[in-house]
């Protein structure tokens, strides 16, 4: 008799059994905030903590409370101080870090950029970039999938952002992106302590020169394209052209276009790369799930469907990606700060409280999910989706500040997975022992070394 295999339970820190001391807490926050959370964070609807550093903290796990904070009373919750301190010097008035009227105007100006029609239009660039990328595995027998997925999603973004038309030395742009990420990834202990801005942050000093150089390349690239558009030349229909079409007094200022290009690079490739890597890893550990997806991809591929239709034709592939984002949300924490005192049911939220909506704990919450630690893509199969509460699954956030790139990322992920899995099988090696670490995104410490074989 065929026994149904037990679902795969991927690696994750066990909930802490006792609260850490302030010193321990700072060390954990610096090294891996995912290791901070104790049993109550995975069991309670909400928790109010007085931390001693950074003001009172509310951990919001209840879907009703999450809807209240991110949607119903969103105007009372601004972006959290620590997050802004890390990201604003780099992303400035890009959409992720803009606030108030600047955010409102630029989100509106950006709506025509992210229409379903434009996202569909990016599908062929996603496909051709994935096909080129897949060539590298033709003669490979192993690879670090984590590093490689970052390269793939970077290539896709560079193609859809500016069709490869980047000012300056070839290769220097990608190099500057790497350097920027190294310095962007960590919370500086000074920020946690609420130290004044004029005190240097040692974790970020290194990034300053890199940032200035990077900004110059972006500004030159934007200027070159504007000149071509003003001359009436044919220009590619990529993000850059779409953003420049939104330039103007009611739309985006030139500096905001530059900030948003840097924001898309910051928010739009590492996130998708992490989720792709975790998906391939979980599927390698659950070959019975992988078989279903390979069969689905093989069947869909025979139909010669245009790539923008793949996502609808491959619901199991999509579900595996969504389940990997449940277990390893690329953005593990969505942080807000209460502008005025507030109340939800019997929960008091004081003015200035930090409110954490953590996909990491919500997605692994004992009272919300059955078998929360197990990799079970069927949760997201079409027939089961209706059973999910909109606010129990938040890889892209919710409310007015929901990820503007969600549809782009989902389409990209399904196309990349289909191209790779149609050609290759990725298996774990004895040394494949990833440990999830939060450094802006949820990264696999130790990388994802995997065996690659042709199917």
- Summarize as ranges the residues that interact with ligand HEM (CB under 6 A): 95-96, 107, 263-264, 267-268, 271-272, 275, 330-331, 334, 395-397, 401, 403-405, 408-409
Would you say 188 or 259 has its CB closer to ligand HEM? Answer: 259
Shortest Cβ 105–ligand HEM spacing (Å): 12
- What is the smallest separation between the CB atom of 413 and ligand HEM, expressed in angstroms? 7
Q: Rounded to the nearest whole angstrom, what is the least distance from the CB of residue 21 to ligand HEM in the complex?
A: 29
Closer to ligand HEM by Cβ: residue 262 or 425: 262
C-beta of 107 vs 451, nearer to ligand HEM:
107
**Interacting residues of 44 by C-beta distance below 8 A, sequence separation 6+:** 59, 61
CB 229 within 8 A of CB 241: yes
Q: Residue 252 carries which DSSP code?
A: B
Single out the residue of 392, 426, 117, 156 nearest to residue 293, CA to CA.
Answer: 426
CA dist., res. 429 & res. 203, Å (int): 34
Least Å distance between CB 145 and ligand HEM? 16
In sign, the C-alpha dihedral spanning 231, 232, 236, 238 is: positive
Q: Which is nearer to ligand HEM, 320 or 425 (CB)?
A: 320
- Residue with nearest beta carbon to ligand HEM: 405
Nearer CB in complex with ligand HEM: 80/425 = 80
Return the number of the residue (100 or 303) whose C-beta is nearest ligand HEM.
Answer: 100
Strand spans (E) along 289-428: 334-338, 342-344, 347-349, 354-357, 424-428
Number of other CB atoms surrounding residue 18 within 10 Å: 7
Q: Which is nearer to ligand HEM, 119 or 450 (CB)?
A: 119
Instruction: Write down the least CB distance from residue 395 to ligand HEM, Å.
Output: 5
Q: How far is the CB of 54 from ligand HEM (least distance, A)?
A: 17
Residue 439's contacts (CB-CB under 8 Å, 6 or more residues apart) are 185, 186
Q: How far is the CB of 397 from ligand HEM (least distance, A)?
A: 3
Kindly report the number of other CB atoms within 10 A of residue 192's CB atom.
17
Residue number, 211 or 398, with CB nearest to ligand HEM: 398
Torsions phi, psi for 432 (to 5 deg): -80, 90
Minimum CB separation from ligand HEM for residue 104, in Å?
Answer: 9
Angle (CA) 271-272-277 rounded to 5° is 105
CB contact at 8 A, 447 and 277: no
> How many angstroms separate the Cα of 137 from the Cα of each of 287, 419, 451?
20, 12, 10
Q: Which is nearer to ligand HEM, 41 or 333 (CB)?
A: 333
b/e 76-108 (16+ beta carbons within 10 angstroms → b):
bbebbbbbbbbbbbbbbbbbbbbeeebbebbee
Instruction: Tell me how far, at minimum, the Cβ of 191 lies from ligand HEM, in Å.
Output: 17
């Amino acid at each position: 008799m065929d026994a149904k295999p037990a679902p795969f339970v991927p690696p994750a820190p066990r909930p802490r059994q006792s609260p850490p001391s302030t010193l321990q807490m700072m060390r954990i926050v610096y090294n891996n905030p995912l290791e901070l959370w104790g049993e109550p964070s995975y069991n309670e609807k909400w928790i109010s903590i007085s931390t001693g550093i950074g003001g009172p903290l509310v951990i919001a796990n209840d879907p009703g409370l999450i809807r209240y904070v991110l949607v119903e009373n969103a105007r009372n919750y601004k972006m959290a101080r620590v997050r802004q301190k890390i990201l604003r010097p780099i992303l400035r008035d890009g959409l992720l870090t803009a606030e108030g009227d600047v955010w409102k105007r630029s989100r509106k100006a950006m709506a025509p950029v992210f229409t379903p029609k434009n996202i569909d239009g990016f599908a062929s660039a996603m496909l051709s970039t994935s096909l080129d990328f897949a060539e590298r595995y033709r003669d490979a027998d192993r690879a670090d999938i984590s590093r490689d997925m970052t390269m793939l999603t970077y290539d896709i973004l560079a193609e859809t952002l500016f069709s490869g038309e980047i000012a300056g030395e070839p290769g220097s742009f990608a190099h500057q992106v790497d350097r920027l990420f190294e310095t962007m990834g960590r919370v500086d202990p000074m920020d946690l302590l609420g130290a004044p801005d004029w005190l240097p942050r040692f974790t970020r000093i290194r990034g300053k020169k890199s940032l200035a150089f990077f900004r110059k390349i972006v500004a030159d690239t934007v200027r070159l394209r504007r000149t071509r558009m003003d001359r009436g030349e044919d220009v590619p229909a990529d993000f850059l052209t779409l953003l420049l079409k939104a330039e103007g007094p009611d739309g985006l200022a030139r500096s905001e276009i530059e900030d948003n290009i840097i924001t898309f690079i910051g928010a739009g490739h590492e996130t998708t790369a992490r989720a792709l890597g975790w998906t391939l890893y979980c599927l390698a550990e659950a070959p019975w799930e992988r078989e279903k997806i390979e069969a689905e991809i093989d069947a869909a591929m025979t139909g010669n469907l245009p790539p923008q239709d793949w996502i609808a034709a491959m619901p199991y592939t999509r579900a595996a990606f969504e389940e990997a984002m449940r277990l390893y949300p690329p953005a593990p924490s969505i942080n807000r700060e209460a502008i005025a005192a507030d109340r939800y049911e019997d929960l008091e939220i004081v003015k200035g409280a930090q409110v954490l909506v953590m996909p990491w704990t919500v997605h692994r919450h004992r009272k919300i999910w059955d078998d929360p630690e197990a990799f079970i893509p069927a949760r997201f199969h079409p027939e089961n989706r209706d059973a999910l509460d909109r606010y129990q699954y938040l890889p892209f956030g919710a409310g007015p500040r929901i990820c503007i790139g969600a549809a782009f990322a989902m389409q990209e992920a399904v196309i990349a997975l289909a191209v790779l899995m149609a050609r290759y099988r990725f298996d774990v090696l004895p040394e494949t022992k990833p440990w999830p670490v939060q450094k802006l995104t949820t990264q696999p410490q130790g990388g994802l070394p995997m065996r690659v074989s042709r199917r």
